[in-house]
């Protein structure tokens, strides 16, 4: 516990002091999600097309990264990879810690993103693809024009959860010495002994970022579903609104409707 009585003014002061470290957090999230998309696609393709050997390797990869804590993965890559590469006379001991952090988060996110891609693609009605072939489209055209557009809309809610989970998991990067917002908060709290104020500021910062991201994903999904049948689109949007922020939006709409009545 802190040695000082709680003072709300420090919450706002620490909130401002944490903002510069937000750049590191967003850099880790953005880089790992971008690389995770590439990894996820490469892992999803062998499963979608049932490539024998690659499909088995993909399942092993998924089992490891989805079945072990990300903190353990961080330690394994940071401490284990240099030792393994020394066996083949490759020295990466001077490599930046941030490299290992982004690599770990990318592979971790890629495991979940691959399942998002696989689930979204298989959810598209096969009859639509056959209809595209009947109209003269080749495999690439059918995938880009029919499958990918619908799969993207289907995947948005789950992909949003992966991004938000990745954002909150970046707090573990402090265990390797990366001063992102959680690491900065820990440092400020240790020096000031005002742990309640600093962690309340940190909670507000995470809350605001998650709120903004969730609303952006919700708007993106609404835009992607604008050409679908109204009943189907409304059903999918209700799933998105099932989250905490979605329920807030629904309550606001209800209040506006009651006011007009």
Listed in sequence order, the DSSP H helices in the chain are: 8-18, 22-48, 52-67, 70-75, 81-86, 97-123, 126-134, 139-142, 149-169, 181-192, 195-224, 230-240, 244-260
CA 116 to chain centre: 11
Q: Are 158 and 113 spatial neighbours (Cβ–Cβ below 8 Å)?
A: no
Q: How confident is the model at residue 225 (pLDDT cuts 50, 70, 90)?
A: confident
| Whether residue 254 has pLDDT greater than 50 | no
Better pLDDT: 213 or 146: 213
What is d(CA 80, CA 86) in angstroms, rounded to the nearest whole number? 10
Tracing tokens 């690659």 back to the chain, one arrives at 54
Q: DSSP string spanning 123-145? A: HS-HHHHHHHHHTT--HHHHIII
Confidence of residue 33 (pLDDT cuts 50, 70, 90): very high
User: Is 202 within 8 Å of 181 (Cβ atoms)?
Assistant: yes
List phi, psi (to 5°) of 107.
-70, -35
Query: What pLDDT is recorded for position 238?
Result: 58
pTM of the model: 0.83
Furthest C-alpha separation in the chain: 76
CA distance 103 to 34: 11
- pLDDT class of 127 with cuts at 50, 70, 90: confident
Mean pLDDT of 214-243: 69
Instruction: Give exposure, 45-81, as e/b (b: 16+ Cβ within 10 Å).
Output: bbbeeeeeeeeeebeebbeebeeeebeebbeebbeeb
Q: Tell whether the model's pLDDT for residue 142 goes beyond 60.
A: yes
Q: pLDDT of 59-106, one tens digit each?
A: 999 999 999 999 999 999 999 999 999 999 999 988 999 999 999 999
Q: What local confidence, expressed as pLDDT, does residue 261 receive?
A: 43
């Amino acid at each position: 516990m802190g040695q000082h009585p709680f003072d709300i003014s420090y919450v706002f002061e620490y909130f401002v002091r944490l903002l510069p470290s937000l750049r590191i957090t967003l850099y880790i999230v953005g880089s790992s999600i971008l690389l995770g998309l590439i990894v996820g696609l490469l892992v999803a393709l062998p499963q979608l097309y049932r490539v024998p050997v690659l499909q088995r390797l993909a399942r092993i990869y998924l089992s490891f990264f989805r079945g072990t804590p990300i903190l353990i993965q961080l330690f394994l890559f940071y401490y284990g990879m240099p030792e393994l590469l020394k066996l083949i006379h490759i020295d990466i001991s001077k490599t930046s810690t941030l490299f290992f952090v982004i690599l770990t988060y990318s592979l971790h996110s890629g495991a979940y993103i691959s399942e998002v891609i696989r689930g979204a693609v298989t959810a598209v009605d096969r009859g639509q693809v056959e209809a595209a072939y009947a109209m003269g489209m080749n495999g690439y055209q059918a995938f880009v024009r029919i499958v990918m557009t619908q799969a993207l809309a289907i995947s948005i809610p789950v992909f949003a959860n992966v991004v938000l989970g990745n954002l909150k998991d970046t707090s573990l990067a402090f265990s390797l010495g990366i001063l992102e917002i959680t690491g900065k908060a820990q440092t400020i709290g240790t020096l000031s002994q005002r742990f309640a104020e600093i962690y309340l500021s940190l909670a507000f910062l995470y809350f605001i970022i998650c709120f903004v991201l969730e609303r952006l994903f919700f708007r993106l999904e609404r835009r992607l579903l604008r050409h679908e049948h109204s009943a189907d689109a409304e059903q999918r949007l209700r799933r998105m609104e099932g989250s905490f922020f979605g329920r807030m939006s629904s309550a606001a709409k209800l209040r506006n409707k009651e006011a007009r009545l």
